[in-house]
Amino acid sequence: MPLGPHASASRQAFYESIAPLGLAPLWEVLHALVPPRPATAAQAALWRWQDVRPEVMRAGEIIGAAEAVRRVLILENPGLPGQSSITGTLYAGLQLILPGEIAPSHRHTQSALRLVLEGLGAYTAVDGERHPMTPGDFVITPSWTWHDHGNPGKEPVIWLDGLDIPLLRMLDLGFAENQAHPTDRPPEPTRPPGDALLRYGANMVPVADERAPTSAPLFVYPYARSRAAVFALARGTLPHPVHGFKMQYINPTTGGSAMPTMATYLQLLPKDFASAAYRCTDAAVFSVIEGRGSVEIGDEGAKRVLEFGEKDHFVVPSWQRFRLRAAAETVLFSFSDRPVQKALGLWRDALE
């Protein structure tokens, strides 16, 4: 075991003698186990669209969607190599589906979100309904719902996947099932397109339906609607000094986050907006839908400035001070594990 702060030769010999008994000295690791503030291994990082898009397209040349099951390039945090994680608890990736392809049906305990980045003509089917995907649309696949993706259109379609994979791995409760008889044909839809949005997207819920589902029964949040909402919020009001004009996508049956493990947000920053410095315990992944600007992340002495443009992705690690600046009118999508932290009474933030 590596030398800790209290190690000496005789103590080291003691540690080695107790190791076979499954025993270890707390006092050598206590400072790391209960740190004075979050000591995340995750780093601030940026993935530029101009760098990653060609690689995503190359992935489309080397493997088919059916063989890959999900043809995705993972956005892996440079501080968490080999862990398929963008933060300690979250996974992110860029998924490509080419015209004519299907990504077969499966379900898993991990919740997933999609944010469509590019291309028209693909769908995600959730719970028997095919949701057409338009750039900017936010689509969810709640835990344990069957889902497949297809592209009957003419263009490659790329979207951001966000999942709670590392969180569920930590809890040791990853379960998955593949479609019992995978075929070249995706399962037939059992509900018409637009059904969930019509049922649950009108500020109404069926009276006879007693469920308050833990994930939104609404599976798609079309960009045209969400964009109009943040622009309406901005009309005639001053931006919040930290958030600009920021709204959360909610589960209309509970008023809480769209999924229990991940909160998702859409944020408008007016041109030349510069946010106040802020930190919070939930690390966040950002996807730049429109505009450009920069984010300064980290404390004095360890600051990094990342310049972002459309379809770039960046991550702000837990409890790192950050400021957003918009060089043009900017719309950001973001997600984090905040609902988990809040449910446990652990979430903190600070203006500093």
Helix (H) or strand (E) holding 323: strand 322-326
Tell me the closest approach of the beta carbon of residue 72 to ligand GTQ, in angstroms. Answer: 4
Indicate the residue among 72 and 306 with the shorter CB distance to ligand GTQ.
72
Q: How far is the CB of 142 from ligand GTQ (least distance, A)?
A: 12
Per CB under 6 A, does 163 bind ligand GTQ?
yes
| Site for ligand GTQ contains 112 (CB under 6 A) | yes
167 binds ligand GTQ (CB under 6 A): no
Q: In this chain, which of 11, 53, 70, 303 binds ligand GTQ, going by CB under 6 A?
A: 70
**Which lies closer to ligand GTQ via its Cβ, residue 176 or residue 350?**
176
Nearest distance from C-beta of residue 183 to ligand GTQ, angstroms = 18
Q: Give the separation between CA 186 and CA 100, rounded to whole angstroms.
A: 12
Contacts with ligand GTQ, 121-160, as mask; x by CB under 6 A: --------------------------x-------------
Q: Which is nearer to ligand GTQ, 112 or 168 (CB)?
A: 112
Q: Does the footprint of ligand GTQ cover residue 266 (CB under 6 A)? A: no
Where do we find the tokens 């209960």? 34
H or E element, residue 114: strand 112-118
> Residue 262 to residues 20, 100, 130, 348: CA-CA distances in angstroms?
40, 31, 22, 16
Provide the token pair at 321: 């001070």
Q: Please, which residue, 137 or 161, has the CB nearer to ligand GTQ?
A: 161
Give the C-alpha separation, 126 to 123, whole Å: 10
Q: Which of positions 309-348 make contact with ligand GTQ (CB under 6 A)?
A: none
56 binds ligand GTQ (CB under 6 A): no
DSSP secondary structure code for residue 276 in this structure: P
Pairing of strands 123-126, 129-132: antiparallel
Show Cβ contacts of residue 297 under 8 Å, excluding neighbours closer than 6 positions. 44, 303, 304, 305, 306, 316, 317, 320, 321, 322
Which sign does the torsion angle of CA 38, 39, 41, 47 carry? positive
Least distance to ligand GTQ from the beta carbon of 161, Å?
3
Amino acid at the residue 117: L
Instruction: Give the one residue of 101, 137, 161, 312 binding ligand GTQ; rule: CB under 6 A.
Output: 161
Minimum CB separation from ligand GTQ for residue 218, in Å? 19
The phi and psi torsions of 294 (rounded to 5 degrees) equal: -145, 160
What type of residue sits at position 10? S
Cβ closest to ligand GTQ, residue 147 vs residue 338: 147
335 close to 90: Cβ distance less than 8 angstroms? yes
**Which helix (H) or strand (E) segment is 200 a member of?**
helix 195-200
Query: Residue 93 or residue 136: which is nearer to ligand GTQ going by CB?
Result: 93
Shortest Cβ 148–ligand GTQ spacing (Å)? 8
Closest residue by Cα to residue 73 from 58, 284, 88: 58
Kindly determine how many residues on this chain lie close enough to bind ligand GTQ according to the rule CB under 6 A: 9
Instruction: Decide: is 95 part of the binding site for ligand GTQ (CB under 6 A).
Output: yes
Residue ranges that bind ligand GTQ, judged by CB under 6 A: 70, 72, 93, 95, 108, 112, 147, 161, 163
